[in-house]
Structures are given as structure tokens and as C-alpha cells.
Structure 1
Amino acid sequence: MGILSRFLCLWVWLAGVLTGVQLQAQERRASHCIALAESAPGLHYLHRASWRQPVASDTLHIRYIAHASFLLRTNGGLNVVTDYTGFIGSAPMIPDVVTMNHAHDTHWTSQPDPGIAHVLPGWAEAGGGVHHHLDLGEMLIRNVPTDIRSMFGGVEPQGNSIFVFEVAGLCVGHLGHLHHIPTPAQYAALGRLDVVMAAVDGGITLPLDEMLEVLGRLKSSVIIPMHWFTDPSLQRFLSQVATQFDVVDDGRSSLDVSLRTLPDRPTVFVLRPRYLAAEE
């Protein structure tokens, strides 16, 4: 066999070896570490994504902080906190925007951090409601006023706001301390909400049957329960919605949402509240 023939044989053999290695790498089986951890008695494996992690393009990161407070974080690093009470945890983060409602002091603060660039109350001190239309480029924040029950049994017209966040091609709504089924005009002003945060306490805001009516009308792809106080009250809501919606309850505190990852049918994602920690 000549030198050229030997070289060609060697080249063919080497190419075959490299191809085999490449195929082996592509077909590598997924690690069983997580599966083993989940199957071990008494152990629970949770994906705990840090609020500091970068957010993918065309995606919104939603983190449940507490009660009715959520962190909305964008790809550009914009941080928005809903129903801001003045405390979000030990994390050294000052939000760019906070929204508030004043039905109870667990939904607002009279002394927001002076470093917050935009503080958006959902009511007007003089009454008559307030209207916000804050265009931040990456996100548009607007509100739809609704009425609330007053402390003395009456009604405070336009004392609550449903805040709507238009970002990453999504329309995200936070119903706030909703006390009545929205009117046709209010539904029209809201538009189609891809994601909705809804109070499911069953009475302090709306009775569950009325909240289910609202959620059915909104037809949102993602429903995130809030304002549920105890696990039994949350389970009462879940038991009633399970016949209408899919339910995902896997212990997570956050959710990344984009147009391409919206579920095919309305789905309730249960997020467990967790304050933002400095060590994350």
C-alpha cells in the first residue's frame, strides 16, 4: 500500500472516530441527579431562581414577594413592585417603579423610599380616581380605576386601581384589592390580559364565585393567585378552579413568561411568597 493510500485510510479512520465522539456527545442522556433527589424520602428539590439573574429577551420575570406584592423584572433590568408596602426583603434593591392601592395598609405605604423614581398610587387623595400612563420605553404602565368598600360600609368611588403592564409583547394585569365585578367599560379599558394576578381570599375582596366569573371573562393564559392568607384558603380556590383551568403548584416563587411560552389553555400558576434576600 502506497503512502498516499495509507494516509487516506488513516484520515478515514480518524474521521470515523471523531464522528463517533460527536454523536456520543449529542446523544448524552440527561443527568439523573435531580430525579434521584426528588425521589429521596423527605427531600424536595426546588428551582430557586435568583431575582438578580438576567432576564431573557422578550421575557418578563415575575417573583411573588408577599400578599399582593410582586416583582416584575425585564430584560433591560427594569424593576417594578406592585402593591408596595415599603418592605420587599433584605435585598439592597430600590425599585424603579412601585404601584400601590390603599384599601388596607398591606397594599401601600405613606413613606416610599425617596430613591424610587416613579411612585404610582392607585387612588387620588381628593377622590375621583387617578389615571396613570407611564411610558418607560421597555414597559408601559397604565391603570383602570375601580370602586372599593370604605371602612364605614360605604363605597369609595375609584379607590382601587387595576394596574396593567404592557411589556415584552405581553399584557399583564394586577387586579389589586378588587371589590366588585368590573363594568363593561372597565373590561374594555383593560383589554385582553395574558397574565393576571388575582386576589383569591374569597371575601375580603371578591367572593370566589365572582372572582371566577371575572377570570372566566378575562380569559387570561396565566393566572397567579394572591392575597390568600393561608394554605386552606388557597386550596379552596384551587378546588373550585381545577375543573376549568390547569393548575401548576410545584413550590416555585417565580415565573418567567413570554409570548412563546404561554400555555395553550388557561393555567393557574401557584407561586409561593418569598421576600427578596441579599444573599440571592
Structure 2
Amino acid sequence: MHRISTFVLGIALLAFAAPANAQENQRPFSQCLAVAQTLPGATYANLTPDAIDWRIEPVAAGSGEVEIMFAGHSTYVITTPAGISIATDYNGWAGRVAVPDVVTMNKAHSSHFTLAPDERIGEVLRGWNFDGTPADHDVVVEDVYVRNVTTDIRNFGAMEPDGNSIFIFEVADLCIGHLGHLHHPLEDRHFAQIGRLDIVMVPVDGGLTLSHAAMTGIAQRLQSSILLPMHRRGAPLSSFIEMMGDKFLTDFVDDDSFTISARTLPRRPTILVLKGI
């Protein structure tokens, strides 16, 4: 199993819980929502010396480790320390996915969703609502909290409001995001709703979602420690990597999965290309 063993240096961002009108409707506390991104002129402070070397090597297993496996196209399978499995952009037929505990979906194409999910799946979280209202998920399953931020989606040339969702998975002190089938640049309000993302799954097709220029701009602003490419169609991956710039290291891994913890995030932002991408 591939593991990342370097330690992250930096400052913690202020986090807050979403307000609620009543105690019974209060949302779960989010450790990933960051006030700093919404403040004018605020920037992240990175205390990592550029001269510090880094490397990837095995580490001892720990109770706070999360496993992430690339299962195909836009589907990653996240397995939490408690053993909860989550499949992103689940379609029911593609990729090496058993019956997950939680699935998320987006409706851009049939490869990103299914209307007939296995009834054994405990939580089916669609990134859209059939009546056109924004999907709103705040789900806690054992040791993971799943929430979403809606974005618009192209539909026969026009933009359909709230047709896509960015899903955020908060587990083991990690903030993991999946951008879904993103069709437009994100606004400040989106970044504020997303908050901190330690790991982000980014479509790199170069046009079916967004151009490489637009997508790299989003990824650079998120400043995640690990960037996981997905939805690799069209433009070459090398073009995306080049546009991300020299602040991001690139590691091609001869495995389709790795384990990670909050303490073993890489010192420098890393594009991690798993086997099969």
C-alpha cells in the first residue's frame, strides 16, 4: 500500500459551525470551513521552508489513516478509519467498486450517476434535486461528515442552476473535496462555503468540464496539500501539470491507492497521479 509520510507545516485556519435556527436543525460542526478565505486581503500563511527536502516512503499504520483508491473516471473510493466506504460520482457499473456505505453523484452524464443504486447502500447523496431546488446534504456516518456546495451545470447549452455539487468529506481531521463535473469558475462565495481542502479531486479533461487554465486557477486558489486528477479526457494530463506551476510537485504512483493522515500530508503541494488515471 502506498503511503505519504512527510509532515505538513503551516498555521491552522479559524473554523466555525454553520448557524442554525433551532437546536434540532443545527448542522454538524465543520472543521474545514475557513473564515480567512472570506476576509478581504486575507491570505494563507505557509511556514514551509522551500529548502526542506521531501520524499514518499511507507509509514506505520495508525488509527487516523484514510485510504483513497482510484476506481475509474471520476470515481474515487474513500475508506475511513472506522471502515466506512464512500464512492464519488458513483454510477453502479464502472470501476472496481463494491457496495459502498455512502455514494455521491452528479448528473452531467450517465457515467457520474445511477437512478437505480444498489438498495444496500446506506446513503445515496445526489448532487442535484429533481425539482430544481439546490441539493443540501449534511450527513454524518460513523466517523465521516459529508456536505455539499452546489454549482451550476451546462444543460443543452444553457446553465442550469445548482445542477452539480462539490462534495466535501470531513474525516480524521482531513478535509477531502471532490469538484464533480464543474462547468464554471468558482466565486468567492463558493470558496467560502467549501473552506479548507487538504485533498481535492479535480477533473482534468481540459474542456468537457473547464479548460485547464480555469481549472488550474481553482486548484491553485484552494492550495490543497494533495491534488488528485480525475475525469482524464481530451487534453493531455501533462498540460494540466505544467500549468499548475513549479509550486506543485508531481508524483506518479505505481499503485491505484494510498493511505494518508492529517500528520502525513506532504510539506509541499503535490499532484498525486495514481495508477489508472
Matched, 1:96 2:76: no
Structure 2 CA distance for aligned equivalents of residues 154 and 127 of structure 1: 14
Task: Name structure 1 gaps, 5 residues minimum.
Answer: 1-54, 275-280
After superposition, the CA RMSD in angstroms is 1.6
Of 254, 265, 270, the residue aligned with 1:267 is: 270
Identical pairs, percent: 44
Match of 1:137 among 139, 142, 152: 142
Cα distance in 2 for partners of 1:73, 1:88 equals 18
Corresponding position of 2:174: 170
Tell me which residue corresponds to 1:223: 227
> Is the contact between residue 199 and residue 205 of structure 1 (CA under 8 Å) also seen in structure 2?
yes
> Which structure has the bigger radius of gyration?
1
SS at 1:260 equivalent: helix
Counterpart in 2 of 1:25? none
Q: Is the 8 A contact 1:247 1:268 kept in 2?
A: yes
Distance verdict in 2 for CA 1:252–1:175, change over 3 Å = same
1:156 equivalent to 2:172? Answer no
> TM-score, normalization: structure 2?
0.75
Counterpart-to-counterpart distance in 2, 1:211 and 1:128:
26
**After superposition, what is the alpha-carbon deviation per residue over 1:147-169, rounded to whole angstroms, capped at 9, x for unaligned?**
0111x210110000000000000
Aligned to 1:245: 248
SS of alignment partner, residue 180 of structure 1: coil
How much does 1:89 deviate? Answer: 4.9
CA distance in 2: counterparts of 1:77 and 1:163, whole angstroms: 19
2:105 corresponds to 1:109: no
Indicate the residue corresponding to 1:15 in structure 2: none
Q: Which has the higher contact order (CA 8 A, sep 6+)?
A: 2
Once the two structures are superposed, the pairs formed by residues 193-204 of structure 1 within 5 Å of their partners are 193-204=197-208
Alpha-carbon distance in structure 2 between the residues aligned to 1:250 and 1:142? 29
Q: Is the 8 A contact 1:98 1:118 kept in 2?
A: yes
Deviations 1:116-146 (A, max 9, x none): 1110000010102110000123000000000
Unaligned 5+ segments in structure 2 are 1-60
Counterpart CA distance in 2 for 1:131 and 1:108 is 17
**Contact 1:85 / 1:105 at 8 angstroms: preserved in 2?**
yes
Distance in 2 separating the partners of 1:157 and 1:176: 15
Does the 8 Å contact 1:67/1:273 carry over to 2? no
Instruction: Tell whether 2:101 aligns with 1:85.
Output: no
Tell me the TM-score normalized by structure 1: 0.74
Match of 1:254 in 2: 257
Equivalent-residue separation in structure 2 for 1:76 and 1:123 (angstroms): 28
* Distance apart, 1:77 and its partner CA: 1.0
CA–CA distance in 2 between the matches of 1:188 and 1:208?
22
More helix by percentage = 1
Task: Number of aligned residue pairs: give it.
Answer: 217
> Aligned partner of 2:262: which letter?
L
- Secondary structure at the residue paired with 2:243? helix
Aligned equivalent of 2:54? none
